[in-house]
Amino acid sequence: MPISSPPTSDETGDHPLTRTEFQIIRTVTKHPCTLWEVLSAVDGPIRETYRACEVLKQRGWLVFRKGRIHPGKLPRRLVQACQIDFSMVLEKLRALLEAAPPPTTEYFQEPMLPEDLCRRLEFMWERGDLFDRTFFVIGDDDLFSLAAALTGLPRQIVVGEIDLRLVGYIKEQASRLRLPVEAFQYNVADPLPASFRRAFDVFVMDPVETVPGFTAWLSRGLAALRHPGAIYFGLTELECPPKYWHRFQQLLNEAGLVITDILRGFTRYQNASLAPPDKWNKTKLVQQAPFPALQEEQNFWYRSSFLRAETLKSPKVPVRGRVKFDRSFYQSPFTMTLS
Amino acid sequence: MPISSPPTSDETGDHPLTRTEFQIIRTVTKHPCTLWEVLSAVDGPIRETYRACEVLKQRGWLVFRKGRIHPGKLPRRLVQACQIDFSMVLEKLRALLEAAPPPTTEYFQEPMLPEDLCRRLEFMWERGDLFDRTFFVIGDDDLFSLAAALTGLPRQIVVGEIDLRLVGYIKEQASRLRLPVEAFQYNVADPLPASFRRAFDVFVMDPVETVPGFTAWLSRGLAALRHPGAIYFGLTELECPPKYWHRFQQLLNEAGLVITDILRGFTRYQNASLAPPDKWNKTKLVQQAPFPALQEEQNFWYRSSFLRAETLKSPKVPVRGRVKFDRSFYQSPFTMTLS
C-alpha cells in the first residue's frame, strides 16, 4: 500500500520546525519570557536552544522588547499548535472507544485507559514530537491514531494492525471525521512494506513483551523511521523481567537510539480482555496466585512504563526479513495473563 | 581506608529482605489489601511478587483473613521503615546545608534544592533501595549521605569526596548526630580502594558530564557495587548531548545493568556556584546568550533527569586504573556553566 504524500503547510512549509524551535515558540506564546523561562521549558543542550533562538530571531518569530522575549508574527497554525485542549480530545476518544470492536486476547489486545492515552499524547506534545510530524503505529486497539489526529497536529498517521475489525473501524472513523489517518492489515512478523522505509518521524507501539516479539515490533518501527526521529512505547515490569529490558536496551543502543525517558506506571490498562471466566481461570495470574485473585475486586493494577528514545542517525534495523510467528513470539515464562 | 563492618540487625538479620519483600510488607502495613493492591505497589515481575508472597506467608509475615491480606507479627524496625517522615528529614537537611562549606566551582559543585534531594530519597525508598542497604556515594556537596542516614534506614553510607572541607563537615556531623556515615578524601580519577570492591548495595552520584569524567565516576561506582545492586544518578540534557547519553547507556548495558527509570526534570539546582560576577561573566552561558542572561532573574532553570539502573549480575567494570585528570575530564564543548 503506497502512503499518500502528507499535506504540506502553506504557512510553515518553508520552515519545518525542529522540536527545539517548537518548544521555544510554545513557551513565549504563553507569556513574555526571560531567557531562564525559555531554558526551563526546552529539552536538549543549552547550545542547541541558543542556536534555535538565533534562527527564530532572524526569522522575526522572536522579538526582545522591554526586557522580555516575545513572539513575533507567527503562522496561525503554529499558534494553534501551542495551545491544545487535551480534555476535548479525551471526550471524543471516549466516544470512539465505546463504539469500537471489543478487545480480544486473540491478538493480545488490552486497551489502556483513555485518560492515560491522552497523557501520552500530551507528553509527546511537550517533547515537540506531535506538531507537523508523520506517525507510524503498529497495533492500535487503543485508537492512538484517531486521538492523535484529533489534536489537529500530526501531518499524517499510518496504522499497521492485524485485526481487520480495527482496520475497518479506524478507516471508517478517519473518513467520517476527515482525519489524516490511514490503516492497513499488517502482521508484525512480516517485513515492512518497502514504501514505508524511512518514511516517518515518530513510531509508536505497545508491543508483546517477549524477546522475539519485541524485536520484530521494534525492527519494523526502526525500518519505518527516519532521522531525526523518535519512538515511544510501553513496557511492563509485570510480565517483562529485567533481563528482557536489558536486551531491548541493547537493541536500541546498537540501532543508534538513545533513551531519553522511562516513566514508571505512566499507563494503566482496562483489564477487560480477560473478563470471560473460562479465560480468567486458565491464566497463571489466577492459578499461581498466593492469595485469592478475584476478578471483581480488580483496581487498575496492570500498568506499564512509558519510554521515549530518539535517533542519533538513521536507525540500524535489527531484523528485516520475515520472522517465525509461533508461541514464543507472544508468550514467555513471565507471561501471566494469557490462558 | 577499611570500611567498618555494617551493623547487623538482631531482628531481620536472619532475613535480609529483598526489595520485593520490603515493598509487599510496606503495602500491607498501610491497610489490609487485596492481591491487586499488592501488585499495584510492587515493582518487577508478577512471578517474583507471587514468590515473595509465598516466602512471607511461610514466615508468618503475611496473613490472609476476612478476604484481605494483613501483616503478621513484624520486627519493629521493619514497621518503622514502612512509614518515613521525609518532611522531618528535609527540615534537618536544611539546617545542615546552612552550616555547610559553601559550594565552589573548583570542584564543579552545584548543590541541588534540598526538597529535590528528599524527593530522590523518597523515590529510592519507594523502590525498596533504602532499608537495610549499604551506600557508596562519590561527591556529596548535596549532603545526600547525611540526609539518607537521617531516615534511619540505610545500614551504612560511605562518601568519597575530593573537597576536604566537605569530608571534614560530613564526618563531624555524622559523629555529632551518631549517623552511620563515613567520609574520606577521594579523587575519582584514582582507582577505587581495594577494600571497597563489591562492598555496597547502592551507588549514588551526580557526575561531571563529559565522556571521560562520567566513565570514571561510573567505573568507580560499579567496582564498589555487588549484585543485586542499584545505581542512581543525575544527568542533564542542558550540558550533556544525546550522543553522550547514548555512550553512557552503552557503558551501562555492557556492564550488565538495566535502566529502570529516567525521570525528566526530577532535580533542580541552587544556581549558587556561579554567583561571583567575574565567574558569571566568563561563562558561555552568558557570553553566547541570544538574549540578556541576567543573573538576578534566574528561576530554577538548571535541572537534571534522575536515572536508576540495576544489576543483572556482578557488574563488569569499564575502567579500573588511574585516569588522566585534565581539562577534558570536566569540560566538553557542551559545558556552558564553567568560566
**Residues B162 and B236 grouped into a single domain:** yes
pLDDT of A12 above 60: no
**Residues A98 and A44 grouped into a single domain:** no
Chain A residues with CB inside 8 Å of B245's CB? 258-260
DSSP 3-state of B101: coil
**Residues B75 and B95 grouped into a single domain:** no
For B25-46, write each residue's pLDDT tens digit: 999 999 999 999 999 999 999 9
Number of neighbours of residue B53 by Cβ within 10 angstroms: 25
**Residues B324 and B265 grouped into a single domain:** yes
Chain A residues with CB inside 8 Å of B246's CB? 253, 256-258, 312
Distances (CA, A) of A39 to B127, B236, B284: 31, 12, 14
Whether residue A339 lies inside any domain: the answer is: no
Average pLDDT over residues B184-205: 97
Binning pLDDT at 50, 70 and 90, where does residue A1 land? very low
Task: Please state the domain count of chain B.
Answer: 2
| CATH code of B65's domain | 1.10.10.10
For B2-18, write each residue's pLDDT tens digit: 454 444 444 444 457 99
Amino acid symbol at A245: W
Whether residue B338 lies inside any domain: the answer is: no
Whether residue A146 lies inside any domain: the answer is: yes
pLDDT of B194 above 80: yes
Whether residue B182 lies inside any domain: the answer is: yes
CA–CA separation, B97 vs B142, rounded Å? 8
Q: Are A260 and B245 in contact (CB under 8 A)?
A: yes
**Triad A113, A173, A11: Cα angle to 5°:** 95
CA–CA separation, B153 vs A245, rounded Å? 29
For A57-86, write each residue's pLDDT tens digit: 999 999 999 999 999 999 999 999 999 999
Whether residue A5 lies inside any domain: the answer is: no
**Residues A111 and A50 grouped into a single domain:** no
Range of the domain at A183: 84-330
**Residues B188 and B212 grouped into a single domain:** yes
**Residues B135 and B262 grouped into a single domain:** yes
Nearest CA in chain A to B42: A238
pLDDT of A4 above 70: no
Least confident of A98-112, B76-90, B112-126: A98-112
CA–CA separation, B63 vs B60, rounded Å? 7
Q: B23 to chain A nearest CA, in Å?
A: 14
CA–CA separation, B272 vs B302, rounded Å? 11
Look at B53 and A334 and tell me if their CB atoms are within 8 Å.
Answer: no
DSSP state of A193: P
Whether residue A163 lies inside any domain: the answer is: yes
pLDDT at B184: 98
Distances (CA, A) of B190 to A247, B1, B18, B161, B212: 32, 14, 33, 12, 13
**Residues A92 and A221 grouped into a single domain:** yes
Q: B201 to chain A nearest CA, in Å?
A: 17
**Residues B280 and B172 grouped into a single domain:** yes
Q: At what angle do helices B114-126 and B86-98 cross, to 10 degrees?
A: 140
Closest of B218, B140, B129 to residue B182, by C-alpha: B140
Q: What percent of chain B has pLDDT over 70?
A: 96
| DSSP-derived secondary structure for B239-262 | SS-HHHHHHHHHHHHHHTEEEEEE
Least confident of A193-202, A211-220, B3-12: B3-12
Last residue of a domain, one of B34, B62, B80: B80
Look at A261 and B256 and tell me if their CB atoms are within 8 Å.
Answer: no
**Residues A244 and A309 grouped into a single domain:** yes
Look at B50 and A292 and tell me if their CB atoms are within 8 Å.
Answer: no
Whether residue B218 lies inside any domain: the answer is: yes
**Residues A48 and A182 grouped into a single domain:** no
Number of neighbours of residue B232 by Cβ within 10 angstroms: 24
For A100-138, write each residue's pLDDT tens digit: 998 877 777 888 999 999 999 999 999 999 999 999 999
Last residue of a domain, one of A80, A109, A133: A80
First to last CA, chain B: 35
CA–CA separation, A235 vs A112, rounded Å? 12
**Residues A59 and A111 grouped into a single domain:** no
Whether residue B187 lies inside any domain: the answer is: yes
CA–CA separation, A8 vs B195, rounded Å? 64
Residue given cell 549521605 in the structure block: B145
| CATH code of A109's domain | 3.40.50.150
Q: A168 to chain B nearest CA, in Å?
A: 35
Chain A residues with CB inside 8 Å of B299's CB? 34, 36-37, 40
Last residue of a domain, one of B60, B80, B100: B80
